[in-house]
Amino acid sequence: MNSIYEVYQALSMIERVLVFLVLAPFAGGLLAGVDRKLSARLQGRYGPPVRQPFFDVLKLFQKERILVNKFQNFNIVLFFLFTVFSGAIFFAGADILLAVFGLALAGTFFILAGFSVGSPYSHLGAEREVIQMVSYEPMVILMAVGMYQVTGSFKVADLVQHQAPLILYLPGIFAGFLYILTIKFRKSPFDLSMSHHAHQEIVRGITTEFSGPALALIEITHWYENVLLLGMVYLFFGFNPWIALAVSLATYLFEIFIDMNYARFKWQLTFASTWLFTAVAGISNIVVLSIMK
């Protein structure tokens, strides 16, 4: 049961970072393949092979590099670098708050990339990305604060080894985090800025003007980000590695199910419902923890 912990503790911080850098895109790409396959089956289709996302990314890297302006890909590279930085900080066992802020900075560069081109669809997608960030970011910060209240530390290495399950102290925080994960995974009903369905009012939204290697880098970045987000889910059940892994996988499958069964919300409902859920589930959980102490 503790073999995962033993392997984790045996690795140095640099080795943990290297493992994340190498394995995360493979795990993220595999999850994307499972997503597409399972989504197709739920819709009565056969679907592509699980390895199809890797083929798509390789094909994008082989396409011609076309730029609208010089700032377009610069922002995408920074989006990639800060996302990888956040994941490296997290899986190295360092400060989770630094990982959260790094991820927010990465999202900011993604928004700037959308605004750097002239397409009205890209601008509309970037505006919706801002709304999504304002919607989910408070809950992500509350997650880190709640874990600190329970353990007295922001270090991931301390959080994952806490003697009591964090989920027992943070059920509201966990529920709120699950709610905003639908936004972070870009699933319906919250896929406002960059829908994975082409038949929508903003075409491909924030990524409309990106193609070739730049679009491939965006996809790989999302793979890294998804692995990081599932790592955060893992922390709530870190007392038992196998239960934690099972819950993390179940969370991703649950998000696919939600995606297949809900139509897209308007941005007003997305913002209002997310903040309401954050206030009811997240802040109330923080208040209860404060009273208990």
Q: Identify residue 271 by its one-letter amino acid code.
A: F
**Mean of the per-residue pLDDT values for the chain?**
89
More confident residue, 11 or 50: 50
The predicted model gives 21-31 an average pLDDT of 95
pLDDT (tens digit per residue) in 236-271: 998 788 899 999 999 999 999 998 888 888 889 999
**Residue 34 has which token pair?**
């499972």
More confident residue, 260 or 231: 231
The predicted model gives 62-79 an average pLDDT of 86
CA distance 139 to 120: 30
Strand partners, 95: 155
Q: What pLDDT score does 4 carry?
A: 61
pLDDT (tens digit per residue) in 137-172: 999 999 999 999 999 999 998 898 888 889 999 999
Q: What pLDDT score does 1 carry?
A: 45
Q: Which CA distances in Å does 259 have to 112, 186, 192, 293?
A: 27, 9, 12, 39
Q: What pLDDT score does 11 carry?
A: 76
pLDDT (tens digit per residue) in 167-218: 999 999 999 999 999 999 988 888 888 765 554 555 677 888 888 899 999 9
Evaluate if residue 111 carries a pLDDT over 90.
Answer: yes
Secondary structure of the chain in HEC code, one letter for each residue? CCHHHHHHHHCCHHHHHHHHHHHHHHHHHHHHHHHHHHHHHHCCCCCCCCCHHHHHHHHHHHCCCCCCCHHHHHHHHHHHHHHHHHHHHHHCCCEHHHHHHHHHHHHHHHHHHHHCCCCHHHHHHHHHHHHHHHHHHHHHHHHHHHHHHHHCCCEHHHHCCCCCCHHHHCHHHHHHHHHHHHHHCCCCCCCCCCCCCCCCCCCCHHHCCCCHHHHHHHHHHHHHHHHHHHHHHHHHCCCCHHHHHHHHHHHHHHHHHHHHHCCCCCHHHHHHHHHHHHHHHHHHHHHHHHHHC
The predicted model gives 38-62 an average pLDDT of 91
**Residue 195 has which token pair?**
């829908």
Q: What pLDDT score does 2 carry?
A: 52
pLDDT (tens digit per residue) in 88-108: 999 998 999 999 999 999 999
CA distance 113 to 83: 15
Domain boundaries, the chain: 3-292
Query: pLDDT exceeding 90 applies to what percent of the chain?
Result: 63
